Amino acid sequence: MFHLDKDETWAVDFEKVKSKAAVDLESVVTHEIGHILGLAHSSVKEAVMYPSLKPRNKKVNLKLDDVEGVQALYGSNPNFKFSSLLDSENFYNKTISLNPRSCSWTFSSAMVVFFLLLMIT
């Protein structure tokens, strides 16, 4: 379980939240799910598991260091090719339209919801 500090100015959409101190909720939840999976902080600044995030920045795309950390804990998939993610036209940021009038989700935000639901059931 993790705690989200109520004192933060959380943002899901930086277009709607104008605060210069806004923190991206999806980035923090993705990072915290990494801890739930057993990952420690990374020294790689671009990694999701790096210990800090500047306001108004988004960091949800897994970097090689994040993937290698999970593989060290759970083993690797012999069919997984990190380079194929890089070549897949930015796979993690492709939009999945659920209902054109209501919202659109990125793959990574859908995965965050999936993991949260998995944890509470």
Average pLDDT, the chain: 77
Residue 1: inside a domain? no
What pLDDT, in 10s, does the model give residues 39-76?
A: 999 999 999 999 999 999 999 998 989 988 998 998 88
Given 26, 32, 46, 89, the catalytic residue: 32
Distance CA 14, CA 106 (A): 15
Residue 62: inside a domain? yes
Q: Which of 26, 24, 2 is closest to 119 using CA atoms?
A: 2
Residue 5: inside a domain? no
Query: Which residue is associated with the tokens 């999976």?
Result: 37
Residue 111's pLDDT is 64
26 among annotated binding-site residues: no
Quote the number of domains for the chain: 1
Residue 77's pLDDT is 77
Residue 73: inside a domain? yes
7 among annotated binding-site residues: no
Residue 15 annotated as catalytic: no
Residue 2: inside a domain? no
Residue 3: inside a domain? no
- Residue 48 domain boundaries: 10-120
